[in-house]
Amino acid sequence: MTDPFLLPEPVRIWAEKTLGALVPVRDASLDVTLRSSWHVVRAADNARFVIKIARTSEGFTQETFVHRHVVSALGAGSAPRLLATLPSHLALLLTDLQGIPLPDLQVKVAALRRIHWRSGVLVAKLHQAGEATAGNRQEADTAVLRLAQDARLHLDVVGDRLSVEEQKLVAHLADRLSVLGGLPLGFVHGCLERGLVQGPQAHLSLRDFETAGFAPVVVDFARLACGPWLAQPHLRLDFFNGYGRGLSGDERLALRALTALHAVRRLAADGKEPGHRQTAEDAHAVLARLTKEVPV
C-alpha cells in the first residue's frame, strides 16, 4: 500500500533530475486532505527546498503565474524562488524560506509591532504589483457580492450559535457590503495570516500564492482582523503605517463586513464539536468588537 505521506515517486524522480539525490522525507502536512507540501534536503550539501502539489489545476496555474510574473515586485528574498514545475502532477519546486507564520510568533510586543509595520510595507508592494483590467474589476465586484450573499447561508448554519443581535449585525453588514462597488483593487494574497512568515535574522517573507489574484485590497485584511489584530488592536495601526495609507470610508465598512463574514464562515466550517470551542469564542469576540465600533 502506498504511504500517503511519502513524496510520490514520479515527483521525486523529477525533483532529483533538477536537484540531485534527495534525503527521504515525509509530508510536512498533518492533514493529507490539505495541499501536500514536502520539505526536502539535497544529499550533496544539505540545501533545503520545498515541493508543493497543488490541490487543483487552477491553483497550480495561479501560483506558477505569481512566481513568474509578480513576486519579483516584492524584492529579493521576500518570497521563495520557483525552480521548476511538473504540470502533469501539479507540482512546483521552490527554494525553502524557513519561517514562522505571524499568528504563531512568540515575541515581545515591541518586536511584534515592528513585524506588523514591515508586513504592511511588504503587502503594499504585493498589492501594487501589476495593473488591474476592466475584467478584473468586474470579477472583483462579483466576488464581493457573492461573499455578501453567502452570509445568509452561513447564518442558516450557525444561527443557533449566535445571539439575535449578532445575527442582525452580520445580516446588516452583508447588506451594506452587497451595495458597495468601486473598492480599490490590487494583487492580493488571499491568506495573509498564514502567508506572512518571519525567518532568521527577523527577515519577513510571503509564501503560498495559490489563492492570489486581483481583488479589492481590503479582502486581504479580514483574516488579520480576526487573528492577531483582535487581541492587539495597535498592531492594525502599525500595519497600516507600514502599508502607507489608511482605509477609505467604504473600505472601512467593507472590512467590518468581511471580518464579520470571515468569523461566521469559520464558525460554520468548524462545526459544533466541543473541540471547536475556541473558534466559537473568537467569533463572538470579533462580533462584539464590531458592535462597539462606530458604524461607517
* Grid coordinates given for 96: 525553502
Residues 174 and 267 in one domain: yes
In a domain, 215, yes or no: yes
If you compute the radius of gyration of the chain from its CA atoms, what whole number of angstroms results?
A: 20
Most confident of 208-217, 219-228, 236-245: 236-245
Per-residue pLDDT, 272: 55
**pTM greater than 0.95:** no
Residues 107 and 229 in one domain: yes
Q: Which residues pair with 131 in a beta bridge?
A: none
In a domain, 3, yes or no: no
Closest to 17 (Cα-Cα) out of 56, 51, 60, 54: 51
**Residue range 101-152, pLDDT digits in tens:** 887 888 899 999 999 999 999 999 999 998 888 888 888 888 888 888 888 8
Residues 31 and 166 in one domain: no
Element (H, E) at 12: helix 9-19
Residue 24 CB neighbour total at 10 angstroms: 10
Domain hosting residue 128, numbered range: 100-292
**Residue range 154-206, pLDDT digits in tens:** 888 887 888 899 899 999 999 999 888 789 999 999 999 889 999 877 789 99
Rounded Cα–Cα distance for residues 177 and 164 (Å): 20
